[in-house]
Amino acid sequence: MTAPSPTPWDNLFDLLVQRATETPGRSWYVRAQRGAQEFRTLSQLLQTSQRLAHALRARGVQPGEPVLLAQPAGFEFLTSFFALQAVGAVPIPLHWPGHADPFRGIANLARWRRIARRYEARVLICADLGSEATARWRALWPPHPLEIVTDTASLLVDVPTRVTFEPHRAAPDDVAYIQSTSGTTGAPRGAQITHRGLLCSVEATGLEIHAGPDDVLVSWLPLDNIMGLVGVVLFSLHWGVRPVLMRPEQFLEHPEDWFWAISEHRGTLSLAPNFAYNYCVRRCNESALEGLNLKSWRVAMNGSEPIRAQHMQAFARRFHPYGLRDHVLMPVYGLSEATLGVTFHPAGTPLRIDGINRRDLETTGHATPLPPEGAARPPERMHVVSVGRPLKGVEVKVVDDSGDPLPERRLGEVVVKSPSIMAGYVEGTLRDDKPDPSFIDDGGWLHTGDLAYLADGDLFLISRASDTARLPEGRILFPEEVELFVDAIDGVRSGSTVAIQDPDTDDGVAIAFEVQTGADPDELSDSIEALLQKHFEITPTRLLPLPPRSIPKTTTGKVRRHRCRRLLSEDLLRQRPVGPLHPARLQRGARDVGENLRSSGQALVHRLRDLFPDGSLKD
């Protein structure tokens, strides 16, 4: 039965005030390593946010001002985010790398400085960067573009425990925050997310999965990612759901901790990218799961990347003995530019898997169903998982290159129209030399850059258009398909394969893969070549075995194919530099320091001009 819809709200700070007034004692949890945890009530969250807002206003932070926010998943991030909402500023959540050593602290500041220029931001709220980095900040850092670099502890010094604070009254169509896109297709872009778009998104999602105040949502997703911030934090606040947060690095080190959090808190909801479910199958040891109880888990959303039937089926089999119920896994499709949710598979129903002829899809764009007896040859066999139908208030079409709708079972671009579509990109994050893969046309349709087809009303997602590779005879290679097969080979690190267009050829594919410790790279290369010939009838132009952590990924674990292709073209796709004395790292560090010194010189000129307003100081 669908839960009653919560009270509407105009902006995010209104939402926090409403929930803290209705259920002041409702607790939110953040789990630390191996079961330790801390909690805050909504009343405490509101009180601390008001104190921080008071301090930010005293520092001169203005309504509409962009503010960089770089903190790990936890209560400091939450209070900072809502404090900025109270002031009316526009938070820009950034990835927190979790390194506090002096070298990394300064390098992080240099990176954030470059980001600040793109957003024209002068304020950064971050976590502890390490004492040496903090001490060197004033000497190294010019006053522009970042004038204020602070953390929540510093902001709260001398602020009374309770303050009287009149919040800024943001309108529904104002920009609530700026979401950086994943960066899989190039440099991250800043999507402007509105309060109205957020309300429409979390409302439609909750109605689809029958959310209510008895639900508990367990998540390890980073809060700078839209799945973590909108899909977990703001969704939980709107629907009165109790969230239990973990940090991403905790999941990557001990994936079983995700399940123990669900077991101990009787979690009912969770969401993660497809790779995470496969990662758990391959990385969780039986000894770490003894006594686990997953019977409370009713919806496990799977999105953010193409979904693999093999991975979902393996996950269901592996964790069924621990109480995982049938049909818990729910494929979904969404993207930052649509404020997350677009299509959802119906909750509690079996997966819909479409068997099609891969060769037809590669050559003609037709998703031809396989006959009852199956494919005659492996290269003709492909299975695609439905990501469901549009959420309430969302329209979806599949169109050709001219923007005209395609009939069912024809591959084309996904376009979306809904009240939750972003207001647009931040201009400073766009590149003049490259067309953006996603845009909003004159009719209000968001062109996503994603390839898919419709069948019986369901959407079947295939790939990003910009990720596909060209092969001889006019074939199109979908990289996720190749990576799925290579990942399945013993000795290849899960989720660490990339298939890309070879930058040195017009119709060839290069494949790089990370090798597990102890595996033989030559043997793996032979196995991969045989597998690719059998299932795809291709011979890669280059096959690169790499050490662990060589392939660049996003903060949620997605392979950055365009970055990989650029590195390959520069002969740099190999082991990533480790340690502060590695030549590549020193080179980057010198570039950052040089940039800061140049800017410091510019800043000094501006300061001297202020001292000599009569014009006696010349360039």
Q: How far apart are CA 545 and CA 589, in angstroms?
A: 28
Residue 310, Cβ neighbours under 10 Å: how many? 15
Q: Is residue 582 assigned to a domain?
A: no
CB under 8 A, 24+ apart: contacts of 58-61: 59/123, 59/148, 59/150, 59/155, 61/87, 61/89, 61/123, 61/148
Instruction: Put the strands of the sheet holding 242-245 in their side by side order.
Output: 37-41, 27-31, 242-245, 216-219, 269-273, 299-303, 329-335, 340-344, 389-390
d(CA 346, CA 387): 9
Question: What's the structural domain count of the chain?
Answer: 1
| Parent domain of 507 | 469-569
Show the DSSP H helices in 6-74 as ranges.
Answer: 12-22, 42-58
Domain harbouring 496, CATH code: 3.30.300.30
Q: Which of 331, 261, 330, 266 is nearest to 297 (CA)?
A: 266
Residues 97 and 89: their CA atoms lie apart, in Å, by 24
8 Å CB contact between 85 and 176: yes
Residues of the chain where predicted confidence (pLDDT) is lower than 50: 1-2, 576-619
Q: Extract the tokens encoding 176.
A: 């609530």
Predicted local confidence at residue 599, as pLDDT: 41
User: Which amino acid appears at position 564 of this protein?
Assistant: C
CA distances from 193 to 229, 231, 296, 549 (A): 12, 14, 33, 33
Q: How many residues does the chain have?
A: 619
Considering the domain boundaries, does residue 542 fall inside one? yes
Flag whether the pTM goes above 0.85. Answer: yes
Residue 191 included in any domain: no
Residue 555 lies in a domain: yes
Query: What is the DSSP secondary-structure string of 111-169?
Result: HHHHHHHHHT--EEEE----HHHHHHHHHH--SSS--EEE-HHHHHTT--SS-------
In this prediction, residue 132 carries a pLDDT of 56
100 three-class SS:
coil
Q: Is residue 479 part of a domain?
A: yes
Strands (E), 254-328: 269-273, 299-303
Give the type of residue at 605.
V
In sequence order, what are the residues at sequence separation of 6 or more whose Cβ sits closer than 8 angstroms to the Cβ of residue 134? Answer: 105, 128
Q: Do 500 and 509 touch, CB atoms closer than 8 A? A: yes
